[in-house]
Chains A and B, each alone.
Chain A
Amino acid sequence: MWSTLPFDVLAKIFSFLSPDSLACARSACRQWHTCARTYPSTLPQHHQAWFLALPTRNRGQCCYVHNPVVDKWHMLSLDFLPDPIRPVASIGTLILVRPTNCTILQLALCNPFTRQFKYLPMLNITRTNPAVGVVILEPGQPGPNPDFRVYVAGGMSEAPRGGATYEATLEMYDSVDDAWHIMGFMPVEFAVRLTVWTPNESVYSDGVLYWMTSARAYSVMGFHLGSHTWRELSVPMADRLEFAALLWRNGRLTLVGGTCGEDACIWELTEGDGWGLIEKVPIELGIKFLGGKRSWGSTKCVGSEGAICLYREFGSGMVVWREIEEKVRWEWFWVEGCHFIRDKQVQNLQIKGSGNSIVS
């Protein structure tokens, strides 16, 4: 009987279903509903990633998701959230989020499709604005959910005699024991850079957790998990880039950035910490995306396995570079901005995007 399939087997089947098909599967019977809720999956997802748009000022308490297969937008209610949130990183089908109504960092896991929300425990050292990174571990046992770790570095904390100070400790959350562990220290100048100048998601590649920092000129900071050492990488055209984002693509650290009046570029980290240019945004798409302007200033970028999305506000379109044939061919697409969902007009909102990303 399919209704009595063990949950670990069923959870693997579910990882092959896109969010809309999974919604139907969940609705079929109690067992399947329980499985989908018990194992919101950190497993690698075997379907095209969906772009999730979260309004930055969460007035409407909803988010929008884009189905790339049929080029359709859906609205999902977020009324199950206790507080407004901002996305930080994706972990399989889950999103790591932080509530925006408090300045000290607290993290939570959220699945807008199954309407689940769970706070992680508080950090050992409370701090504001640290850099946050996520690593999903290789599935060790054939269990349904690979474990993951969250790294928090830098930030500002309360100084012993009042006032604030840059926090030089690094903490790690382990999903195995649901607890934070202090991992060590970092040079204070790195803590400063990671605190003030790191608005974006981290990328894990080849044993190193990377963050983009943007103090005057862009640069990349990397934390090697094995040896607990830090290093810095330079970035091409660092002082001229108007936007820059780090992504993981095809097993390599990837950088997307644009300079005024020119095509946006995609680089890949090569041996010896150099960057090789692998692609440029096609001119016509760039012009359409910028609406005739020359500045890439308000551009943001997210990526996932098999897709890179450049986006601005919700009503503007997106430029997507998507894997068509596994590891062989990628193509550029235009995604129309969302103005109507089911004939109801949608506001043109500032958004923060998130793709379902898989990192190992």
Chain B
Amino acid sequence: MSMAAVETKKITLRTADNHEFEVEEAIAMEFSTIKTFFDENPDASEDTIPLPNVTSKCLSAIIEYCKSHLAFRARETSSSIDEQVRTYDEEFVKARDNESLKELILAANYLNIKALLDMLNQAVADRIKNKSVEYVRRFFGLENDYTPEEEAAIRAENEWAFEGVDPDDD
């Protein structure tokens, strides 16, 4: 006797580097940008959605994230599930360098995935919390484009915040 196969609806997404991804509808609906698009164009669900601002590397990571979080949400809430979600999120960001974090933030912002974006923003904030200005510059590859006078003025204004930062470790 055969099981009635439930056809899960699939949506096709095309990334900036021309890779096509087939994702389950439930996952695509986690992307508010896409959900809004389908709400407004209900007949477009067969079409391939172009994502010119997202690379395939980013999209596959984002799909993994949404899949895992959907699975977590399907289970009963408990403190051990919360712990697992925290661990998953930590692992998701831990190994990534700043460049890939930045790409993920831009992609999550473009696709409007609030939970992922908040989590990534918090991760970036945690990396520069309590660090010196020089550290922040080095960490993000920011060039100090102030004139010496401007820099002195800004330092004076923000002097109160500079005590008690972590010593820079290289």
- Quick check: is B136 within 8 A (CB to CB) of the other chain? yes
Do A21 and B125 touch (CB < 8 A)? yes
CB neighbours of B133 from chain A (8 A): 24, 27-28
* Other-chain residue from A12, A18, A19 in contact with B109 (beta carbon distance below 8 A): A12
Q: Which residues of A contact B140 (CB under 8 A)?
A: 2-3, 28
> Are A24 and B136 within 8 A (Cβ)?
yes
* Residue A25 CB within 8 A of the other chain: yes
Q: Which B residue sits closest to A326, measured CB to CB?
A: B82
Cβ A21 vs Cβ B129 within 8 A: yes
A24 CB → nearest B CB, Å:
5
Q: A16-B121, A16-B124, A46-B122 are in contact. Are A27 and B154 (CB under 8 A)?
A: yes
A215 to nearest B CB, angstroms? 41
Q: A324 an interface residue at 8 Å Cβ cutoff? A: no
Q: CB distance A27 to B155 under 8 Å? A: yes
| A75–B161 alpha-carbon span in the complex (Å) | 10
Residue from the list B121, B122, B141, B145 in contact with A30, Cβ < 8 A = B145
Contacts A24-B133, A29-B137: A3 and B158 contacting too (C-beta < 8 A)?
no
| Beta-carbon contact of B165 and A29 below 8 Å | no
Report chain A residues within 8 Å CB of B129. Answer: 17-18, 21
The verdict on A5 contacting chain B, using a C-beta distance below 8 Å, is yes
* CB pair B141 A24 closer than 8 Å: no
Give 1 or 0 for each of A1-32: 1 = CB within 8 Å of chain B CB.
11101001100110111111101111111111
> Which residues of chain A are within 8 angstroms of B136 by Cβ–Cβ distance?
24-25, 28
Q: Are A24 and B118 in contact (CB under 8 A)?
A: no
Chain A residues whose C-beta falls within 8 Å of the C-beta of B157 in the assembled complex: 115
Give Cα A13 to B137, complex, Å. 16
The CB with the most chain B CB atoms within 10 A, among A18, A23, A33, A70, is that of: A23
Interface size counted on chain B using CB atoms at 8 A: 37
Task: Name the segment of B8-16, B17-25, B98-106 touching the other chain.
Answer: B98-106
Give which listed residue, B109, B125, B137, B142, contacts A9 with CB less than 8 A.
Answer: B109
Interface size on A, residues (CB 8 A): 36
Interface SS of B by simple majority = helix
Q: Does A142 contact B (CB under 8 A)?
A: yes
B164: A residues at CB distance < 8 A: 70, 72
Min distance, Cβ A302 to any Cβ of chain B, angstroms: 21
The residue from B98, B141, B161 contacting A3, defined by CB atoms under 8 A apart: B141
Q: A3-B140, A27-B133 are known contacts. Are A12 and B117 too (CB-CB below 8 A)?
A: yes
Compute how far the CA of A21 lies from the CA of B102 in the bound complex, rounded to whole angstroms: 19
Asked if A29 meets B146 with Cβ closer than 8 Å, knowing A2-B102, A13-B105, A21-B129, the reply is yes
Q: Is the CB of A25 within 8 A of B143?
A: no
Q: Say which residue of A1, A30, A76 sits within 8 Å of B146 (CB atoms).
A: A30
B142 touches A32 (CB 8 A): yes
Task: Write the B125-159 contact mask toward A (1 if CB under 8 angstroms, else 0).
Answer: 10011111100110011111110000000110110
Q: Shortest Cβ distance from A289 into chain B, in angstroms?
A: 27
Q: Bound complex: CA of A25 vs CA of B134, how far in Å? A: 10
- Expressed in whole angstroms, the minimum distance between the Cβ of A9 and any Cβ of chain B is 5
Q: What would 12 A/B residue contacts be, using CB atoms closer than 8 Å? A: A2-B98, A3-B141, A12-B121, A16-B121, A19-B161, A21-B130, A21-B131, A24-B136, A24-B165, A46-B121, A115-B157, A142-B112
Q: Which 4 A-B pairs have the closest CB atoms?
A: A23-B161, A16-B125, A2-B140, A20-B161
Given A28-B142, A32-B142; 20 other pairs, CB 8 A cutoff: A2-B102, A2-B141, A5-B106, A8-B109, A9-B109, A13-B124, A13-B125, A17-B125, A23-B161, A23-B162, A24-B128, A24-B131, A24-B136, A24-B162, A25-B128, A28-B133, A28-B137, A29-B144, A46-B122, A74-B160
Q: Which residues of A contact B (CB under 8 A)?
A: 1-3, 5, 8-9, 12-13, 15-21, 23-33, 46-47, 70, 72, 74-76, 115, 142, 342
